[in-house]
Amino acid sequence: MTENAELMRQSRQDLEGRWESILAVCAVPILYQSLVSGGSYMSPDTPITILNIFILGPLNFGLSRYCLNFSRGNEAEFGQIFQGFNFIGKNIIANLLIGILITLAAILFIIPGVIVGLMFSQTYFILSDNEDMGAWEAMQLSKEMMRGNKTKLFFLSLRFFGWFLLCLLSLGIGFFILSPYYNLTLAKFYDDIKGNVYVDQY
């Protein structure tokens, strides 16, 4: 199991001289949420929430696919951010199910919501690696992969907490710079924990 600090170092190394391409891809979901939804994703009384159901799942899939290709040294192209719309049905279902389960858990208390979020955090990476896999099956595989790894991912996210605060102080502009580093590190985390869990490679 690779240390979190090493995963971050590998991400920084991969990004050297290659920031521009991944920066453009990571900017797409940020621009969508900031310019279109205006940060109202979790508000149940806004029409934009309905649009998010159809947009955010496919974008998460596309971002996961691009970052995995980038991390693995495979061909990574800007158009991959939109490939989730080729599998829009299962990405919509994954987005809905994960959102519902996190919300239900969070109603009980914040911590259960965080745990559920960590549990299903690998879903879009798995769907990206397994085009024939359904949303619920990918979620169950994510649950299996994260058994014993939720704390590791939580502490990995904490390593970025200070950067998140700086991004907020920059009125959100800093997220455009931080997102490639963070998402690439998450892709490396996924590849690191797959271990003996069977995941087809596409």
The amino acid at residue 3 is: E
Report how far residue 69's alpha carbon sits from residue 80's, in angstroms, rounded to the nearest whole number.
10
Q: How far apart are CA 34 and CA 29, in angstroms?
A: 9
Placement of tokens 């199991």 in the chain? 1
Determine what percent of the chain is predicted with pLDDT higher than 70.
Answer: 90
Distances (CA, A) of 121 to 60, 61, 125, 147: 11, 12, 8, 12
Listed residue (27, 59, 73, 175) closest to 124, CA to CA? 59
Least Cα distance to 190 among 48, 19, 60, 38 occurs for 60
Taking alpha carbons only, the member of 154, 148, 156 closest to residue 197 is 148
pLDDT at 117 (0 to 100): 93
State how far the Cα of 189 lies from the Cα of 157, in Å rounded to an integer.
11
Q: How many residues does the chain have?
A: 202
Distances (CA, A) of 176 to 23, 32, 155: 7, 12, 22
| 86 or 49: which leads in pLDDT | 86
Predicted pLDDT at 26 = 94
Model pLDDT, residue 52:
80
pTM to 2 decimal places: 0.88
Residues 66/25, Cβ–Cβ less than 8 Å: yes
Q: Greatest CA span in the chain, whole angstroms? A: 45
What pLDDT, in 10s, does the model give residues 11-66? 999 999 888 889 999 999 988 887 765 544 334 334 456 778 889 999 999 999 99
Structure tokens at 70: 């980038």
Res 190: pLDDT: 97
d(Cα 74, Cα 66) in Å, to the nearest integer? 9
The pLDDT, as a whole number, for residue 66 is: 97
